Amino acid sequence: MNNIKSVIIIVLTLSISSTSFCKNIYATDFFHIDIITNDATKTKLEQIEKIKIKSLISILDKILTTEYMNYLIKKNQHQKYLGSLVQNIIIENELITNEKYIADIKINFNKKDIIYFLRNSKLNYTDIYSEPILVLSSYNKEFITYGLSEKNIFYDIDKLILEFENELLDIKIPDLNPNDRFIISYKNIINNDISSLSTIANKYNVNDILIINIKKINNDELNIKVDHYSNQTAKVLFVGVFNLYDPNELHSNIISNLGDWWKKNHLIDNNIINLVTCSINSHNYSDLIDIKDKIENLSQFKSIKTMVISYNNNIEKIEFYGDYSIFAESLLLNNIEIITNDKCSIRTIQ
């Protein structure tokens, strides 16, 4: 990697991975308001404006790299277009008294308007979730070593869940039991033993493993080395190495780097417009409509035009933003496969 900050690769999922692909990254949360005030109307309007900003920032933070996010905040462009991006405002459990304003407020945004805003601002983004990736870690502390153990400071499950809650990365944590430690020992982790990595990958049914080796140097300084193993190529590639001076920032620092790495390698480039002409191989008319709806709902979608109408085999011209590989990956996440050999074809994955 060019940048030490982009130090980490693909990533992780707990047992929640099966549902993470269903998450709507453009969805927002309710904010509970309970404020002492003598002017409920004014307070309500002020809080709605604050929640608009917080909610939009929470979405943009998921899909923009740190670099783009800092640029956007510095330019303050998001607030300029804030009103035009709001789809609706939901207020529940509202209670107004002479001294208080209480309510649960949720701001919904229009996904297409957000994407248009980013394109207009010349900011690339990604809303592609990773597939489940297993994370193995070793920890060396003053001649005491831990591998797949709860004593390893990396395996603080609560912190991992909290930090990854709003990320595009799907993490898978090993069981940290004797059987896992038998499959891949501390020594095998630090030596990137291919046989052990393959066995543990097969056990957890993953194609990729992220290997995070943590070593305490002195006082609170940690050295963190990251490698990536692919079960498809049976190879380990060096990703990066960096030092950390505050152990309390271990998880947030690693996860921030992981998030940026993923986004940078899956950016939808708004400056690139691609075109494919494909036959849509559908089972029936309903399947054809479903496939086209899913294509049109992709954030990188630009246009679709029917060229030839044929029984269960329409030929469509599809325009989209960004690289073909990113488009194909987005389709796969929606259970649609695109194949470009001699001819391009699209179909639902059974």
**Mean pLDDT in residue range 20-34:** 81
Question: What band does 170 get if pLDDT is binned at 50, 70 and 90?
Answer: confident
pLDDT of residue 131: 86
pLDDT of residue 72: 85
Residue 48 identity (one-letter amino acid): I
Whether 13 shows a pLDDT value over 50: the answer reads no
CB–CB of 113/188 below 8 Å?
Answer: no
**Which ranges of 178-323 does DSSP label H, i.e. alpha helix?**
178-183, 186-190, 194-203, 250-265, 285-297
CA torsion sign, 200 to 206 to 208 to 212? negative
Residue 44 identity (one-letter amino acid): K
pLDDT of residue 4: 33
* Ranges 161-170, 278-287, 332-341: which has the least confidence: 161-170
**Mean pLDDT in residue range 208-215:** 93
* Ranges 21-25, 192-196, 218-222: which has the least confidence: 21-25
Calculate helix-pair angle for 157-164, 250-265, nearest 10 degrees. 40
Question: What band does 21 get if pLDDT is binned at 50, 70 and 90?
Answer: very low
pLDDT of residue 77: 62
Output the pTM of the full model: 0.82
Q: What percent of the chain has pLDDT over 90?
A: 66
pLDDT of residue 226: 87
**Mean pLDDT in residue range 141-152:** 93
- 116 vs 10: which has the higher pLDDT: 116
Tokens of residue 195, six digits: 């046989």
User: How far is Cα 132 from Cα 330, in angstroms, rounded to an integer?
Assistant: 15
321-338 pLDDT, tens digit per residue, is 999 999 999 999 999 999
Whether 1 shows a pLDDT value over 50: the answer reads no
50-84 pLDDT, tens digit per residue, is 999 999 999 999 999 999 998 888 877 666 778 78
Question: What band does 101 get if pLDDT is binned at 50, 70 and 90?
Answer: very high
What separation in angstroms does the CA of 148 have from each of 135, 170, 183, 262, 270? Answer: 10, 19, 10, 24, 42
CB–CB of 294/306 below 8 Å?
Answer: no
User: How far is Cα 246 from Cα 253, in angstroms, rounded to an integer?
Assistant: 10
192-204 pLDDT, tens digit per residue, is 999 999 999 999 9
Of 310, 309, 316, 272, the closest CA to residue 294 belongs to 316
- 291 vs 220: which has the higher pLDDT: 291
Whether 270 shows a pLDDT value over 90: the answer reads yes
**DSSP annotation of 68:** H
pLDDT of residue 12: 29
Number of other residues whose CB lies within 10 A of the CB of residue 81: 15
Angle at 304 between CA 299 and CA 310, to 5 degrees: 135
Q: List CB contacts of 16: < 8 A, sequence separation 6 or more.
A: none
DSSP assignment of 124-168:
-B--PPPPPEEEEEEEEETTEEESSSTTSTT--HHHHHHHHTTSS
Whether 344 shows a pLDDT value over 50: the answer reads yes
Strand partners, 36: 100
CA atoms within 13 A on the CB side of 244: 21
pLDDT of residue 23: 65
To the nearest 10°, the Cα dihedral for 190, 132, 235, 150? Answer: 10
Whether 127 shows a pLDDT value over 60: the answer reads yes
pLDDT of residue 78: 65
- 317 vs 17: which has the higher pLDDT: 317
Whether 2 shows a pLDDT value over 80: the answer reads no
**Mean pLDDT in residue range 246-250:** 88
pLDDT of residue 143: 86
* Mean of all residue pLDDT scores within the chain: 88
Q: Is 291 left (phi over 0), alpha (psi -120 to 50) or beta?
A: alpha
pLDDT of residue 167: 79
CA atoms within 13 A on the CB side of 250: 23
User: How far is Cα 255 from Cα 262, in angstroms, rounded to an integer?
Assistant: 10
Whether 340 shows a pLDDT value over 80: the answer reads yes
